[in-house]
């Protein structure tokens, strides 16, 4: 049955960014409708690795990440249930002197933005985490970082947003958007329409396609991070582990399973489908076994991939459109938006309702792509 709805804010995309935006707006009693093509959390937000880290981010993201980290600490109160966030720390490992120097430099720069990392040499590393393999040059440990359960988190935000009064429409693909006298006319497959004053584009890897419906050209490529999970093993690996350069990342959940990420699977954006690649899975396992030799006999029970949007500079696009008044973007999180998402929702609500935010978005706005041609490395 087709419907005609009118609202203040319409959000396209029910990943964690869209659901966090709906919750932040609903908490301020702003009428909003979120439209999701599938189910909330079907894509990147629901299938990601679950890393909640500030360490290793572009410095431009740190103000937002600091706000997000404060929110993760009290998420259970905000959404009414435990998202399994645990501040287990994030340990970033260096394979050689150059990688260790890069970790030291990042730690020095991030310290000015209030992120504290402890740099450890190979002996300190081995003494503290004896299950690590030999041959590492050192590491950097950020004790405040951690991990959470992505399968729960988006659903909790969606539920909390509904309870606060947001309307969430699932299995409703947006097929067209037009400017209208009051703002925008959003057309949903099947004939329903939404009249809205403000439009928020949180369509993830499909963000550039939503922008293009309103004539705004923004770059974006699709990537499919490749993931695997082991059978439950005795719990030993407390911190969330990553590498200083490109490579694998892994974490162990308290019930014992080890979740591994690294490399890419294959994605088809038009069909909204993706799959892990066996060759990537084998390469991830081989490297993981070098980093944590005790994982050599672990049985892998499942592998998967997720569809993610990547920007040419590996930073998301967040803020008002440079071309279309009333349109706001938040997409292209380039493989690390799960951690940021709660704060992105809060900041978008401030931008929409107050015209400004207390959190800096310098270096993250869409205007950076209006000024220079964007090329992917």
**Can you tell me the distance from the alpha carbon of 151 to that of 46, in angstroms, rounded to the nearest whole number?**
5
Does residue 174 interact with ligand FAD by CB under 6 A?
Answer: yes
Length of the chain: 377
What the block records as the tokens of 356 is: 């400004």
| Binding residues for ligand FAD restricted to 261-280, rule: CB under 6 A | 261
Q: Candidates 34-42, 106-114, 126-134, 291-299 — which segment interacts with ligand FAD by CB under 6 A?
A: 34-42
Pick the binder of ligand FAD from 138, 183, 337, 366 (CB under 6 A): 337
The stretch near ligand FAD (CB under 6 A) out of 36-44, 59-67, 106-114, 350-358 is 36-44
- Please give the size of the binding site for ligand FAD, defined by CB under 6 A: 40
Is 35 among the residues that bind ligand FAD (CB under 6 A)?
yes
Residue 85 to residue 70: CA distance in whole angstroms: 12
Question: In this chain, which of 22, 91, 160, 227 binds ligand FAD, going by CB under 6 A?
Answer: 227
Is residue 144 part of the contact set for ligand FAD (CB under 6 A)?
Answer: no
Smallest distance from ligand FAD to CB 33, Å: 12
Figure out which of the listed residues 9, 33, 44, 75 binds ligand FAD, where binding follows CB under 6 A: 44
Judged by CB under 6 A, does residue 336 bind ligand FAD? yes
Q: How far is the CB of 127 from ligand FAD (least distance, A)?
A: 28
Determine whether 208 is exposed, middle or buried from the number of CB atoms within 10 Å of its CB (0-12, 13-18, 19+).
Answer: buried
What are residue 160's DSSP bridge partners? none
By CB under 6 A, residue 216 contacts ligand FAD: no
Closest CB to ligand FAD belongs to which residue?
Answer: 15
List the one residue out of 337, 307, 322, 290 whose CA is nearest residue 132.
290
Q: Please state the φ and ψ torsions of residue 212, each to the nearest 5 degrees.
A: -65, -30
CA-to-CA distance for 162 and 165, rounded, in angstroms? 5
Point out which span in 16-24, 68-76, 89-97, 119-127 binds ligand FAD (CB under 6 A).
16-24
Task: Report the site for ligand FAD in 64-83 (rule: CB under 6 A).
Answer: none
Q: Are 328 and 24 in contact (CB under 8 A)?
A: no
What are residue 26's phi and psi, to 5 degrees? Answer: -65, -35
**Contact between 186 and 315 (Cβ < 8 Å):** no
Q: How far is CA 320 from the centre of its chain?
A: 19
User: How many Cβ atoms are within 10 Å of 372's Cβ, its own excluded?
Assistant: 8
Minimum distance of ligand FAD from residue 240's CB (angstroms): 8
Both tokens of 32, joined, read 């909003």
Helix (H, G, I), strand (E, B) or coil at 96: coil
| Residue 84 contacts ligand FAD per CB under 6 A | no
Rank residues 137 and 315 by Cβ distance to ligand FAD and give the closer one: 315
Q: By CB under 6 A, is residue 173 in contact with ligand FAD?
A: yes
Interacting residues with ligand FAD (CB under 6 A)? 12-18, 35-38, 42-45, 47-51, 173-174, 202-206, 225, 227, 261, 306, 308, 331, 333, 335-339, 341
């Amino acid at each position: 049955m087709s419907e005609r709805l009118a609202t203040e804010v319409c959000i396209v995309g029910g990943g964690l960014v869209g659901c966090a935006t709906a919750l932040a707006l609903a908490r301020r009693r702003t009428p909003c409708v979120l439209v999701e093509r599938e189910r909330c959390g079907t894509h990147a937000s629901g299938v990601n690795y679950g890393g909640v880290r500030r360490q290793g981010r572009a410095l431009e993201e740190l103000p937002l990440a600091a706000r997000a980290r404060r929110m993760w600490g009290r998420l259970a109160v905000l959404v009414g249930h435990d998202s399994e966030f645990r501040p287990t720390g994030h340990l970033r490992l260096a394979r050689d002197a150059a990688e260790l120097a890069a970790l030291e430099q990042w730690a020095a720069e991030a310290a000015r933005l209030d992120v504290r990392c402890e740099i450890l040499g190979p002996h300190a590393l081995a003494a503290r985490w004896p299950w690590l393999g030999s041959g590492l040059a050192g590491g950097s440990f950020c004790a405040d970082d951690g991990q959470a359960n992505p399968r729960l988190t988006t659903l909790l935000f969606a539920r909390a947003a509904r309870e606060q009064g947001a309307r969430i429409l699932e299995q409703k693909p947006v097929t067209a958007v037009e400017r209208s006298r009051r703002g925008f006319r959003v057309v949903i497959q099947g004939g329903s329409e939404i009249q809205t004053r403000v439009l928020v584009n949180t369509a993830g890897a499909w963000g550039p396609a939503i922008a293009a419906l309103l004539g705004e050209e923004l770059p974006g490529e699709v990537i499919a991070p490749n993931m695997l999970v082991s059978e439950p093993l005795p719990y030993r690996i407390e911190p969330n582990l990553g590498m200083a350069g490109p490579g694998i990342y892994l974490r162990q959940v308290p019930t014992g399973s080890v979740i591994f990420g690294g490399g890419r699977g294959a994605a088809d954006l038009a069909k909204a489908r993706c799959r892990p690649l066996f060759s990537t899975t084998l390469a991830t396992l081989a490297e993981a076994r070098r980093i944590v030799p005790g994982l050599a006999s672990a049985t892998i029970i499942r592998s998967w991939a997720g569809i993610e949007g990547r920007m040419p500079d590996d930073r998301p696009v967040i803020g008002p459109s440079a071309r279309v008044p009333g349109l706001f973007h938040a997409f292209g999180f380039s493989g690390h938006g799960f951690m940021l998402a709660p704060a992105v929702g809060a900041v978008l609500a401030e931008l929409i309702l107050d015209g400004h935010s207390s959190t800096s978005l310098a270096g993250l706005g869409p205007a950076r792509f209006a000024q220079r041609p964007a090329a992917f490395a």
